[in-house]
Chains A and B, each alone.
Chain A
């Protein structure tokens, strides 16, 4: 039968002499499983966050949201660290925002989880969390103002706050994101400061490089590409825009590939590479259709029409412009006018 392990309950034996009677309390210390549950819970939440992030990258926003919401309902949720709870809230805000970007409305819905995350950040005096919340607030404002066709001055304050906090705590990846956001705000404020914006984009690029981070590098490259294009340096623009595209492909950021294809298509159009322009815009159109990003499905049509027009393919060009005109009202009067002008121009051309 073997031998039992050495007695470890000396206290039990000793207790006999103390006249233990019914009603005496604990005989031994029973391990508290709460820390173990908390640790495993955090691990589970970590996996939920990663899965939801991947689904967001794949433009499967509803899947991501359902998953995040189901995590709140788990019995383990109340046990896990408040920071883990806040991470779920921040990611939920991001997913809600991108869903709104695709749907072209509903941006404000993303503020509620941000506010809840901010409350946790304040309670915990967690600067990283507060910085992340400020950055997400900046993103929401950025897309909301863009959709409304308004300048993005409101982005300046949260972007700057997030940058300051991230510098304080040495969050380099976060610094790259905040610099980019700040650049974006300067680029699109009521009185744009493109010089400052370019400087910030370059700093964002450097900060991202220092950590090997690819997402914010892709974003900064994209906007540096636009800056180069605006000043007519098409070759450098192409380099930046193609790099931005490549980085998105490398990290599987499918949700934001259509804008990247579209951008390379545009620069190729400007460079007179009409076949290439058509092909990239076609990719933007096809992927935009597949993942429900109507804005870039629409945005691809005008340069495609122009490329066809320049190749003398009038019928194809007209098809593109007509389709763009049908879609344009959803994206604003500016685009409606642009599509109408293109059609008129094509009709008048001999």
Chain B
């Protein structure tokens, strides 16, 4: 009370001019908070591609962002949430668990993503959602219309924002939809190959080795389907080299598995087994159930190729058990088909 009166009394005095001269550190604070956000998102991404999901989530869920949330934009807050969704999605794909939780979380953050008004963040959200929806579609044997729509919308937004990495990733994901479609297979695979090629060249243009490796991996798959095993092997090797160079551990089992498949088809069974062993080793290391299934399944293929049918059946049964435990429906179907074909 008294102090207020004094302030009025002394309003005209020179000292009051000192008020307002104090450096406002809020801009510096925001700049540091943005820098922290970038660094932490980069670390979380590295953990995610390294298949260290627990660490990525621990980082994104730490109290750190809560403490700096007031200094960063709503777009950055939304980016953090989308990054978390991406980690949840990857973890779910590897473990075969928690798919509903991913969809629930995506729904939970959608309003914040839309409200932030940042096209890149929305595009990234749609990309992650497309991934999650595609996984669901794959598991449930549904058409890929919903994930295609999401990927197309993501691509359009990345194009508007001039984000070439985003465009490359979206093109790759659109390719996946066409590759996985069960109807009009040849035409859709040709279309998929076009998207993968565009994704790969766009990714190469911006030095995005990750998408380049993903596209090469799937171009190899299409060459393999067409019976061009040498071309397929070359693509798969490109993909593997890039993944090793990146330290993209989460995707290594897929790269080894693909090469193993080629060697099986070519009848190079010893070499196939070496790649299968690598697939298994990395799948166990990163906890990727699908490739634990595939390495077992492919061992069955090798044994079948050697005419060791009882042993092959045993491996297919093991593979079936892994697929069932992780609710990997296509794996269940493949294993059952092989067991049936063996007639044992």
- Chain A positions near chain B (C-beta within 8 angstroms): 1-2, 4-5, 7-9, 12, 15-16, 19-24, 26-33, 36-37, 40-41, 43-44, 46-48, 50-51, 54-55, 57-58, 63, 66-67, 70-71, 73-76, 245-246, 249-252, 254, 257, 261, 264-265, 275-276, 278-280, 282-283, 285-286, 289, 304, 316, 319-320, 323
Contacts and interface: CB of A to CB of B under 8 A. Distances in A.
B13 interface: yes
B2 to A, nearest CB: 5
Interface string B66-88: 01100100000000000000000
Contacts of A249: 18, 21-23
Given A30-B244, A37-B46, A51 B68 contact: yes
Interface residues of B, number: 75
Contacts of B270: 19-21
A9 B262 CA distance: 15
5 contacts: A7-B237, A15-B271, A24-B274, A28-B241, A252-B28
B10 to A, nearest CB: 4
Q: Is the interface of B mostly helix, strand, loop or mixed?
A: helix
Contacts of A27: 256, 274-275, 278
Contacts of B47: 37, 75
Nearest to A268: B15
B43 A250 contact: no
A47 B35 contact: yes
**Residue in B67, B240, B256, B273 whose Cβ sees the most chain A Cβ within 10 Å:** B67
Contact of B249 (A30, A51, A251, A323): A30
Contacts of A257: 22
B139 interface: no
Interface stretch (B107-115, B159-167, B216-224, B333-341): B216-224
Contacts of A283: 15-16, 18-19
Contacts of B40: 44
Nearest to A42: B39
B208 to A, nearest CB: 14
Nearest to B55: A75
Given A8-B241, A51-B68, A282-B6, 19 more contacts: A1-B222, A9-B240, A15-B271, A15-B274, A16-B268, A31-B246, A44-B43, A47-B36, A54-B32, A55-B29, A58-B25, A66-B67, A249-B21, A252-B24, A261-B15, A276-B14, A278-B6, A278-B9, A285-B3
Contacts of B127: none
Interface stretch (B56-64, B150-158, B177-185): B56-64
Contacts of B240: 9, 28
Contacts of B22: 249, 252, 254, 257
Given A8-B241, A51-B36, A75 B58 contact: yes
A296 B9 CA distance: 21
